[in-house]
Amino acid sequence: MCDAIFTFGQRGSHFFQCPSRRDYTRIPKKLQRILATKDIAHVYHVTLGFENSFMITYRDRNGNDHIEFQGLPSELTTFLTATHPTTHLPLRSLPSITLTLGPENESFFVGDGTSYLWMNLPGPLLSALQSRISNGSWTDKPRLVALGASSNFLLITQNNAAVWDLPAYRTLGDMMLYSQGKERGIEEVWGVVLHAYRYQGFVAMSRNGTVLGENLPEWSLKGLEGLKAPIGRDVREEEVRRRQRVLAARPGLGDRERSGNERLRPQATLRRQWGKAVDEWADGRSENRGDDGGRERERERQKTYFKTQAKGMKLSLSLSIGIGAGGLTKILG
C-alpha cells in the first residue's frame, strides 16, 4: 500500500497526491506558496476546509518537520501546536497527524496515533467513539474518520469495525455494506474522503490501489483519473520493497515464500474483490429489476456527476482524549 492524500475544500479546491504524482487546483494562495518552495522534501498530510482554510504537514530537505495552517478553529490549532510545559518540545507527532473537517469547519476529528481531539461530531459517531474508550484508554482506536455533508460520517477502527451513516453518499454506503459482508472486506478499505460540500461526492481507495470516486467537479475528476495509474505503480513498487525488506531481515525465507505463494493467492483475490464492488452492486440491482440492459446503465449512473451543494449541521458536544508527556487527560465540554 502506498501513501496517498485526497482532500476537498469548499471553493471547488482539491489536493491529490501519491508518491509519484501530485495534482491540485483552486487551493489557498498561502498553501500554493508553501508547495512552490524547493524546501519541501515530503508532504505528510494536507486537509482543505471552508473558504481558504487548510493544514499541511511536511518534512524539509534538512530533515525537519513542519506544520502550517490557516483559518482553523482555535481549539484545533491549540491542539496542533501544543508543547511540553518544561522542554517546550512539540507534543504532536507531525508525520502522523491526520485531520478531517466537516462543513464550514464546524466539526473536526484530528489525531496523531497517540492523542486525539474532536468537536461537534454527529451523535452516532460520537457514541461509536465513546463506546471504544474504557477507563480513559482506547479499546479499539480509530483508523479512519470521514466527515461529510448533513452529519454524514464513516468510522473504521484498527480492528476493522465499521460504523457509518451515509444517506447523502448512497453509492459509498452500498459499497460499505457490500464490503462488510465479505471476509476481510472492511480491512481492504484503506482510505475514504467525503466531499463535505457535494452530496454523493467521495473518493475511496483500497489496499491494492483501486481508486473509486463519484460526483466530483470536472477538474477534480480529471485529476483523480490522472492519479489512478501512478497509484497502481506506486502500490506495486511498495510491495516489491516490502518483500525485499522481509527477505533481507530473514535470510533463507525466499524458498519458503515461494512455497507460500499458493496460500497467499486467496488473500490477493479478496483484495481485488473490493475494487469490483461497484460493478457487482450494479449487477445485483439490474437483476432485481429484471432489466437486461440495466447493468450498463447502472454503471453509467455511478459515473454521473451531479451538482448538488450541501449544508452542514452543528452539534455542541466535544470530547478529547490525549496522551502526552503529562499522562492521560480527558476533557468534556
Write out pLDDT tens, residues 108-160: 999 999 999 999 999 999 999 999 999 999 999 999 999 999 999 999 999 99
pLDDT by residue (tens digit) across 249-272? 876 655 555 555 554 454 444 445
> Is the distance from CB of 136 to CB of 321 less than 8 angstroms?
yes
Give burial (CB, 10 Å; 0-12/13-18/19+) of 31.
buried
DSSP 8-state secondary structure symbol assigned to residue 309? B
Q: Cell 479512519: give the residue.
A: 144
The pLDDT of residue 234 is 87
Which residues, 6+ apart, have CB-to-CB distance to 169 below 8 Å? 148, 152, 194, 199, 200, 201, 202
In the predicted model, what is the mean pLDDT of residues 222-246? 88
Give the rounded distance of the alpha carbon of 81 from its chain centre.
22
Q: How far apart are CA 52 and CA 33, in angstroms?
A: 13
Q: How far apart are CA 217 and CA 229, in angstroms?
A: 20
pLDDT by residue (tens digit) across 64-104? 999 999 999 999 999 999 999 999 999 999 999 999 999 99
Q: Is the pLDDT of residue 35 over 70?
A: yes
Measured from the Cβ of residue 146, the count of other Cβ atoms closer than 10 Å reads 26
Q: Cell 454521473: give the residue.
A: 304
Tell me the chain's radius of gyration from C-alpha atoms. 21
Q: Is the pLDDT of residue 31 over 70?
A: yes
